[in-house]
């Protein structure tokens, strides 16, 4: 059935073509789902590392603060819970239309359209686009040590990390939509 993108999210058909462009296949689904088993009890440890990285870079953590102010601990904690869910959702690899709609929502929440609204906070108006894709590298790079804890062989660990990289690039692209001029996405 042809899905219509009334929500502004991409359709399943459009996403399929994006997956092809990223060389994302059923093997990647399988490796992500293996990673679910490994990561499901480690989300807190993963988030300690990722939050540590964001927290040690003023240009990143300042998006959790009012302009020129201190980071809002409650905001950081609330987002951290949704971030844990994101790890599980990414690894589940059940990328259906509901998931695509939620990816669109995550983009809006980084963009000025909906940033701060979920938690009712008064932080900076937007996550600047220029930081979105660069953060993919530290996120995927640091995931390796956690993926390795499942005891899989080296080739499987690499394949899981590559599946995560493809998924992250696809998701960040979906999140970019509100940042891109109408007609250019
Ligand atoms: C690999 C890149 C990134 C990933 C995987 C990521 C992931 C996430 C996730 C999963 C959420 C919660 C979404 C939800 O509400 O369900 C979130 C929110 C947020 N992220 Fe990111 N993010 C990335 C890049 C960035 C960067 C570069 C910054 C800062 C410079 C940033 C700042 C924020 C902020 C401030 C929120 C809260 C937005 C709100 O008000 O709801 N993110 N991010």
Residue listed under structure tokens 């990722």: 50
3-state SS string for 75-103: HHHHHHHHHHHHHHHHHHCCCCHHHHHHH
Write out residues with Cβ below 6 Å of ligand 1: 60, 63-64, 79, 82-83, 86, 106, 109-110, 115-116, 118-119, 127, 131-132, 135-136, 139, 168, 172
For residue 13, tell me if it sits in a domain: no
Q: How many helices (H) and strands (E) does the chain have?
A: 9, 0
For residue 19, tell me if it sits in a domain: no
**CATH number of residue 134's parent domain:** 1.10.490.10
For a mutational test of ligand 1's pocket, the pick from 73, 102, 110, i.e. the residue with the most ligand atoms closer than 8 A to its C-beta, is 110
For a mutational test of ligand 1's pocket, the pick from 73, 109, 124, 142, i.e. the residue with the most ligand atoms closer than 8 A to its C-beta, is 109
Per residue in 81-105, pLDDT (tens digit) is: 999 999 999 999 999 999 999 999 9
For residue 4, tell me if it sits in a domain: no
For residue 9, the 8-state DSSP code is P
Whether 178 has a pLDDT exceeding 90, the answer reads: yes
Nearest CA to ligand 1 atom 1: 136
Nearest CA to ligand 1 atom 9: 83
Compute the average pLDDT of residues 58-69: 98
pTM of the model: 0.96
pLDDT at 141: 98
pLDDT at 7: 73
Per residue in 2-30, pLDDT (tens digit) is: 444 457 899 999 999 999 999 999 999 99
For residue 185, tell me if it sits in a domain: no
CA nearest 105: which of 6, 9, 5?
A: 9
pLDDT at 1: 40
Per residue in 123-166, pLDDT (tens digit) is: 999 999 999 999 999 999 999 999 999 999 999 999 999 999 99
For residue 40, tell me if it sits in a domain: yes
DSSP codes joined into one string, the chain: -PPP-TTSPPPHHHHHHHHHHTT--HHHHHHHHHHHHHHTTTHHHHHHHHHHHHHT-HHHHGGGSSTTS---HHHHHHHHHHHHHHHHHHHHT---HHHHHHHHHHHHHHSTTTTTTTTT----S---HHHHTTTHHHHHHHHHHHHGGG---HHHHHHHHHHHHHHHHHHHHHHTGGGSPTT--
For residue 134, tell me if it sits in a domain: yes
For residue 130, tell me if it sits in a domain: yes
Structural domain range at position 127: 28-178
Ligand 1: which atom is nearest the Cα of residue 86? Answer: 10
For residue 105, tell me if it sits in a domain: yes
* Domain count within the chain: 1
């Amino acid at each position: 059935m042809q899905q219509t993108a009334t929500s502004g999210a991409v359709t399943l058909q459009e996403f399929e073509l994006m997956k092809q462009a990223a060389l994302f296949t059923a093997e990647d689904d399988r490796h992500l789902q293996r990673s679910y088993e490994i990561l499901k009890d480690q989300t807190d440890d993963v988030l300690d590392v990722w939050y540590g990285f964001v927290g040690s870079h003023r240009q990143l953590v300042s998006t959790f603060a009012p302009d020129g102010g201190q980071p809002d601990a409650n905001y950081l904690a609330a987002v951290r819970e949704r971030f844990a869910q994101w790890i599980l959702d990414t690894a589940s690899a059940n990328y259906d239309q509901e998931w695509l709609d939620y990816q669109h929502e995550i983009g809006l929440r980084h963009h000025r359209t909906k940033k701060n609204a979920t938690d009712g906070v008064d932080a900076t108006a937007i996550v600047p686009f220029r930081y979105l894709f660069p953060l993919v590298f530290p996120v995927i790079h640091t995931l390796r040590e956690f993926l390795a804890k499942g005891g899989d062989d080296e080739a499987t660990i690499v394949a899981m990390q590559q599946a995560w990289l493809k998924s992250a690039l696809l998701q960040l692209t979906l999140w970019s939509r509100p940042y891109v001029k109408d007609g250019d996405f």
